[in-house]
Each structure stands twice: as structure tokens, then as C-alpha cells.
């Protein structure tokens, strides 16, 4: 039996904003069940890389493959765009993103927020989606909050609702962009526990995080980005316990001072 293609594969990716090149040739692979954490200083390209994976940002060079299927592009350089809108929609719905700032609809209840995309984007049966949405809200520990509005929840509860919304799309992989950085430390722990539980279930995830404990705990691979390039990567035991790069040593020392 041949090995299935990775869920997500990035080959030689470059991303620029005009003259400013922020990703300078990056290769990352996430197989089914892998948790890949991206760490690095602010401005190292972590969040931009994640947004390129989900096609929220256009990259200028390199390949992005979803389950072995390459994104098709038209144009070159700064004019490069995905060529197939249906492909973009299909891939984006299979790579659900959880943002730093929750991005919940303020005029909808929590249940409506979680149901919205599967019903309107995927055209799934409303009653079936509601059952799944309630299941995922229970799973993240806020099943009793279905009928309240986002403003009535704490930041930790809102982020857990955002995770339930991502799960309700039943994606192939979850992409987390600094999921705990907008939260107070005690609320952060609620969200970390949910992510830890998802990792134990064998979910494929790519996580941009400033939390080295989270990266060490849940990751199969930790990738340290510095100025748009991979400076060091490997299993967490090696990256954190047998650090090779001076830059990574300095970065880890600074995160310990900040915490």
C-alpha cells in the first residue's frame, strides 16, 4: 500500500508585499495526524505563511499542494493568482482557520455562528448541521452557550466557539493563527486544553504560536522561522532540548524572559 499524499505540502514558497519579501523559499510538509507548530519573532513570516496555505494571501513563487493536488495558478510574480475559484473554495473549506481575534458574527448566536458556513457554503442540511454544531460546542466545553451572543462570552469562550465553528466544517486540517495571544493567561488555558485534546485525537494541525509550552506539548514538528526562512526545524525534543542555531537559542531565551 502506498503512503497517502501529505494533507498539506509547501515547496519553495515565496511571498512579497511589493518590494518587501517576507517569505523567501520555505518547505513544510504536514502528513495526516501531524501537528506542525510555527514559532519565531514577530515579523518572521509565520502568520503570512499560514495565510498563504489557506489562500487568504497570494504567494509569488513555489507550490502549495493539498492531498497531493497542486494549486493551479495564473500570472507570475506579483500578478500570480489562483486560477480556479472552485478549487480555492474546496481547499479553503478543508483547511479551516482559527484566527487570533475570533472573527465571530456579533449579530448571530453562538449556535448560528457555528452553523453558518456548513449551511451556506457547503449547502448541508440544516437539521444535520445543527446536531453537529451542538456536538462540537459540547466538545469544546460551551454546549450551554448555544443561544447567547459573542459579546456575552469571555475571550476564552469566544475562541472555543471559533474552534467549534472550524470543526463543524469537518476539515482535513485546522490552521491556528496565534489562537491564545489575545487572551488573559487564565482564559488561555481553556483554549490550550481544547487544542491538546484535538492533538490527542490525531487531528492534522498547523499552529502559529508564541506559547513554547504548547508547541513543545502538542507538536510532531516545530519550525523556527527567522526573516522569512526556516532557521531550524525538527521534533520538539530536539528543537527545544538540543538547539543547534544561535538565533533559536536567543529567541528561546527571550521568550523565557518575557514569560
User: Which tens digits make up the pLDDT trace of 8-31?
Assistant: 999 999 999 999 999 999 999 999
Please write down the long-range contacts of 188-192, taking CB distance under 8 Å and 24 or more positions apart: 188/156, 190/141, 190/156, 190/157, 190/159, 190/160, 191/156, 191/159, 191/160, 191/163
Q: Which residues does 156 contact at the CB level (< 8 Å), separation at least 6?
A: 183, 184, 186, 187, 188, 190, 191
Which regions of the chain does DSSP assign to beta strands (E)? 8-17, 20-30, 35-39, 61-66, 69-70, 73-74, 81-82, 95-98, 173-177, 205-208, 221-226, 229-234
Q: Which CA distances in Å does 46 have to 104, 175, 231?
A: 23, 12, 12
Residues in a beta bridge with 61? 14
| Predicted pLDDT at 2 | 58
* In the chain, % of residues over pLDDT 70: 98
| Predicted pLDDT at 181 | 87
- Tell me the per-residue pLDDT of 235-251, one tens digit each, with 9 for 90 and over: 999 999 999 999 999 99
Q: Residue 101: how many CB atoms within 10 A of its CB?
A: 13
pLDDT band at 160 (very low <50, low <70, confident <90, very high): very high
* In the chain, % of residues over pLDDT 90: 89
Give yes or no for a contact between 174 and 205, defined as CB atoms under 8 angstroms apart. Answer: yes
| Predicted pLDDT at 186 | 85
pLDDT of 258 above 90:
no
The average pLDDT across 57-82 equals 95
Q: Residue 106: how many CB atoms within 10 A of its CB?
A: 8
| Predicted pLDDT at 209 | 95
| Predicted pLDDT at 256 | 75
The average pLDDT across 158-171 equals 95
- Tell me the per-residue pLDDT of 205-237, one tens digit each, with 9 for 90 and over: 999 999 999 999 999 999 999 999 999 999 999
Domain made up of 8-258: CATH architecture: 3-Layer(aba) Sandwich (3.40)
Q: How far apart are CA 181 and CA 168, in angstroms?
A: 23
Amino acid at each position: 500500500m502506498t503512503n497517502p499524499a501529505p494533507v498539506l505540502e509547501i515547496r519553495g514558497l515565496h511571498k512579497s508585499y511589493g518590494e518587501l519579501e517576507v517569505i523567501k523559499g520555505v518547505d513544510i510538509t504536514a502528513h495526516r495526524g501531524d501537528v506542525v507548530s510555527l514559532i519565531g519573532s514577530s515579523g518572521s513570516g509565520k502568520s503570512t505563511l499560514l495565510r498563504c496555505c489557506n489562500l487568504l494571501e497570494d504567494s509569488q513563487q513555489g507550490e502549495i499542494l493539498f492531498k497531493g493536488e497542486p494549486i493551479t495558478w495564473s500570472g507570475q510574480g506579483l500578478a500570480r493568482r489562483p486560477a480556479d475559484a472552485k478549487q480555492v473554495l474546496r481547499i479553503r473549506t478543508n483547511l479551516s482557520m482559527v484566527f487570533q481575534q475570533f472573527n465571530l458574527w456579533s449579530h448571530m448566536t453562538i449556535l448560528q455562528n457555528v452553523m453558518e458556513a456548513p449551511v451556506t457554503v457547503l449547502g448541508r442540511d440544516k437539521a444535520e448541521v445543527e446536531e453537529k454544531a451542538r456536538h462540537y460546542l459540547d466538545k469544546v466545553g460551551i454546549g450551554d452557550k448555544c443561544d447567547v451572543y459573542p459579546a456575552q462570552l469571555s475571550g476564552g469562550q469566544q475562541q472555543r466557539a471559533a474552534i467549534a465553528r472550524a470543526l463543524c466544517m469537518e476539515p482535513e486540517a485546522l490552521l491556528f493563527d496565534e489562537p491564545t495571544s489575545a487572551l488573559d493567561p487564565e482564559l488561555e488555558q481553556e483554549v490550550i486544553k481544547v487544542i491538546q485534546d484535538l492533538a490527542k485525537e490525531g487531528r492534522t494541525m498547523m499552529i502559529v504560536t508564541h506559547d513554547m509550552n504548547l508547541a513543545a506539548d502538542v507538536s510532531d514538528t516545530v519550525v523556527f522561522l527567522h526573516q522569512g526562512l526556516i532557521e531550524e526545524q525538527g521534533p520538539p525534543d530536539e528543537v527545544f532540548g538540543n538547539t543547534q542555531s544561535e538565533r533559536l537559542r536567543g529567541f528561546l531565551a527571550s521568550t523565557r524572559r518575557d514569560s
